Amino acid sequence: MSLQRYRRKRQFDATREPRGDKGVGGSRRAIFVVQLHHASRRHYDFRLQVGGVLRSWAVPKGPSLDPSVKRMAVEVEDHPLDYADFEGDIPKGHYGGGHVARFDSGVWSSDGDVEQQLADGHLRFELFGDKLKGAWHLIRSQRNARQPQWLLIKDQDAHAAAQREADDLLAEVKPPPGGRNPARTARKPAMPPVRKARNGDAGGHWASRALALPQARRQAAPRGPFAPQLARLGTSVPAGEAWLHEIK
């Protein structure tokens, strides 16, 4: 594992990407990071710390939480560990030019010898991130290609979810400059069906349930804005187990 290829591809006087001069921490757990990269072709960069570098794969469609989905992951050059903190723009015309945003990060582990598993072409591992959790597989493809191709597959466990894509989890990812949504290729979620009102009553079954409450009565909707509900001073706290109290 070496950063020679990484450094040869970049001009560090023009890009903010780290050179990778920092050493490896002593007892820290192995980290992972997934970055959304708006380069010439939009893709996700999937990176696992192995030793003193981030082993890296470009995943065009991003990780899927559906175990039946096999995502192509193209192996690329190793990256330095401090690349896990990199976000921002790589200048156009330079290698990987475009916007980089962190999609997810955390720590990861594997029960076996990671180097040997990678050499054998099947890495079994577990992620502990905010969006990506549970057991995963990286399996090397036998297809002849200019760069080694792998398959990234979610294991069938409690964190698996049918038909869930990385683009479905993009709510907290910063959009690139220009205001474009990073989920521009994401499927639009299905809108919930609209329940028709019954007997001309807007709100349908909710209105009937509200009227069934004790002392409920039908009234016309008020005109204009609602008055704000303000906190009131009191001399005692509400009683009962349904309340939680916090001292300010």
- Residue at 106 is within a domain: yes
The total domain count for the chain is 1
What is the reported pLDDT for 206? 74
**pTM of the shown model:** 0.69
Burial class of 140 by CB neighbour count within 10 A (0 to 12, 13 to 18, 19+): middle
What is the reported pLDDT for 39? 93
- Residue at 194 is within a domain: no
Smallest CA-to-CA distance from 117 within 44, 55, 34 is with 55
What is the reported pLDDT for 109? 97
What is the reported pLDDT for 180? 55
- Residue at 185 is within a domain: no
- Residue at 212 is within a domain: no
What is the span of the domain harbouring residue 137? 4-18+30-172
What does the block give as tokens for 227? 């008055």
Report mean pLDDT in 10-residue bins for the chain, 248 residues.
90 93 70 96 97 96 96 97 95 94 97 96 97 97 90 97 90 62 49 48 65 82 76 82 78
Main-chain phi, psi angles of 81, to 5 degrees? -60, -35
What is the reported pLDDT for 214? 85
Q: Which residues are catalytic?
A: 248
- Residue at 70 is within a domain: yes
- Residue at 239 is within a domain: no
- Residue at 240 is within a domain: no
CA-to-CA separations, 89 to 21, 33, 39, 177, 184, in angstroms, rounded: 20, 17, 10, 9, 18
- Residue at 179 is within a domain: no
Q: Are strands 122-129 and 98-109 parallel, antiparallel or unpaired?
A: antiparallel
What is the reported pLDDT for 226? 73
